[in-house]
Amino acid sequence: MARRGMLLAALCCMICCGCEGSKSAPAPAAGKQVASDKDESVVFTVKGKHGETARVATDEQGVSLPKDFPSDVPIYRGATVLTAVEMQGKYNVTLKTTDSIQQVFSFYEDKLKTGGWKIGATMGSKQTKLLNATKGTGSLMVVVGKADDKGTVINLGVEGK
């Protein structure tokens, strides 16, 4: 069930980014969609009208970060990467940890400041905290929230360099 939720979140992200996926069919149109489903992992690529592509990987046991994911964006220590989306130099990554929301949020505030990022707006409640940051021409949105179970979910949206 959680896998379907992660997949749905990744698809919503692509739709919001303007990517056009193929409709459900027994065999996808050539070049439109490539998918694989091994146990609990799903990896697929969607091609848009103008040749843009989005690659989505999701697995509750963990997936790799996208190949060109910016090295100056910190990844929370010990967290599992559940979903990784890459689309034309934009990235959306979802991680999960057993640490508290406040521990994770403090980590990102500290690491981004010491890493040369300029933190803009921050906001939050007891169950969700977010911040945005910029560095050069890059921007980062960090959302930290309570997971369905006892964990914490981290979402990183990255654009530019």
| Tens-place pLDDT, residues 127-155 | 999 999 999 999 999 999 999 888 999 99
Backbone angles phi and psi of 85, in degrees to 5 = -120, 135
Q: What is the pTM of this model?
A: 0.76
Question: Could you tell me the pLDDT band of residue 39, with boundaries at 50, 70 and 90?
Answer: low
CB crowding 109-134: b at 16 or more within 10 Å, else e: bebbeeeebeeeeeeeeeeebbbbbe
Pairing of strands 33-38, 41-47: antiparallel
Distance from C-alpha of 24 to C-alpha of 125, rounded to nearest angstrom: 39
From first CA to last CA, the distance across the chain in angstroms is: 35
| pLDDT value, residue 23 | 31
User: Contact 38/50 with Cβ under 8 angstroms?
Assistant: no
- Domain positions in the chain: 2-159
Task: Please write the tens of the pLDDT for every residue from 85-124.
Answer: 999 899 999 999 999 999 999 999 999 999 999 999 999 9
Q: Which residues pair with 56 in a beta bridge?
A: 44, 85
3-26 mean pLDDT: 40
74-94 mean pLDDT: 96
- Is the pLDDT confidence value at 17 over 90? no
